[in-house]
């Protein structure tokens, strides 16, 4: 959340901002920001909305491409891991711009085309994950498109990338969950036995390396 701290909060001093989390899910990001801002959330998934509301968050159901708010309703409008799942991310950004008074922020959008997996026997993982996301209607390469999308919406943005490299202990802790994701992305019928052996060996020997670029963008309305 340091993006909001350095790019936004530094400009407004001690005043409290209003913010909207678009595609907020269960509200994990909202919970981190609520001590700094008056945050509302919107999500298309009824289950996500119910989970967020049950935890005391101000969340309603709505589509990112048709936000249920008036023009200029919030100081900050942001999203996280949202655009990659939308068929029309430009429309969503236009809506975010419309309901924002000043800031439009994409906290995190990945680009699986730039993913690195080592040793070389693991290099196919990025293809498997990208195909899995595309098969669900997502865009696994949306990260590299952030500048273009924002420019089309007449939003000049600062684009950056999160560090995003886990240490070995974190990789080992998350290994089971990560591999389940690889398996589910590959679907039935794809032989992953060779990749799995290489994965297990690299984890055991401490040679495994993963990096998936996660981009952010901070834009101000002109």
Model pLDDT, residue 9: 53
What pLDDT, on the 0 to 100 scale, is given for residue 3? 54
Contact assessment for residue 65 and residue 92, using Cβ atoms and an 8 Å cutoff: yes
- 189 pLDDT tier (thresholds 50, 70, 90): confident
Phi-psi region of 154 (alpha: psi -120 to 50; beta: other; left: phi over 0): left
pLDDT digits 0-9 by tens, 44-70: 999 999 999 999 999 999 999 999 999
Report strand pairing: 74-79 vs 17-22.
parallel
Instruction: Note whether 203 and 143 are within 8 A (CB).
Output: no
Please say whether the beta carbons of 111 and 142 come within 8 A.
yes
Position 112 scores a pLDDT of 96
Contact partners, residue 170, CB within 8 Å, separation at least 6 = none
User: What is the percent of the chain with per-residue pLDDT over 70, rounded to a whole number?
Assistant: 94
Cα–Cα distance measured from residue 3 to residue 103, given in angstroms and rounded to the nearest whole number = 12
- Looking at residue 188, what is its pLDDT? 86
**Chain-wide mean pLDDT for the chain?**
93
**Residue predicted with more confidence, 95 or 35:** 95
What pLDDT does residue 177 have? 96
pLDDT at 115 over 80: yes
CATH number of the domain that 148 lies in? Answer: 3.40.50.150
Mind listing the pLDDT tens digit for each residue in 140-159?
999 999 999 999 999 999 99
Domain count of the fold of the chain: 1
Q: Strand ranges (DSSP E) for the chain?
A: 17-22, 37-43, 59-61, 74-79, 100-110, 116-118, 156-161, 209-211, 214-220
Instruction: Please give the average per-residue pLDDT across 170-177, as a whole number.
Output: 96
Give the whole-angstrom CA distance, residue 79 versus residue 92. 10
Q: Is the pTM value of this prediction over 0.95? A: no
Q: How far apart are CA 183 and CA 132, in angstroms?
A: 10
- Give φ, ψ of 77 to 5 degrees: -125, 125
Range of the domain at 137: 2-220
Q: Rounded to whole angstroms, how far apart are CA atoms 216 and 213?
A: 10
């Amino acid at each position: 959340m340091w993006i909001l701290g350095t790019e936004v909060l530094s400009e407004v001093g001690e005043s409290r901002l209003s913010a909207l989390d678009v595609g907020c899910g269960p509200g994990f990001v909202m919970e981190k920001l609520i001590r700094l801002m008056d945050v509302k959330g919107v999500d298309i998934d009824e289950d996500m909305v119910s989970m967020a509301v049950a935890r005391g968050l101000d969340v309603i159901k709505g589509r990112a491409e048709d936000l249920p708010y008036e023009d200029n309703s919030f100081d900050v409008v942001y999203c996280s891991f949202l655009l990659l799942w939308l068929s029309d991310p430009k429309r969503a950004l236009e809506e975010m711009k419309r309901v924002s008074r000043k800031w439009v922020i994409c906290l995190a959008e990945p680009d699986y085309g730039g993913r690195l997996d080592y040793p070389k026997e693991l290099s196919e993982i990025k293809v498997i994950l990208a195909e899995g996301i595309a098969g669900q209607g997502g865009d696994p390469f949306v990260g590299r498109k952030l500048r273009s999308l924002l420019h089309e919406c007449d939003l000049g943005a600062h684009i950056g990338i999160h560090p995003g490299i886990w240490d070995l202990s974190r990789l080992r802790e998350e290994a089971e969950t990560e591999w389940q994701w690889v398996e589910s992305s590959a679907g039935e019928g794809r032989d992953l036995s060779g990749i799995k052996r290489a994965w297990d060996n690299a984890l055991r020997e401490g040679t495994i390396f993963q990096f998936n670029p996660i981009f952010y963008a901070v834009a101000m309305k002109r």
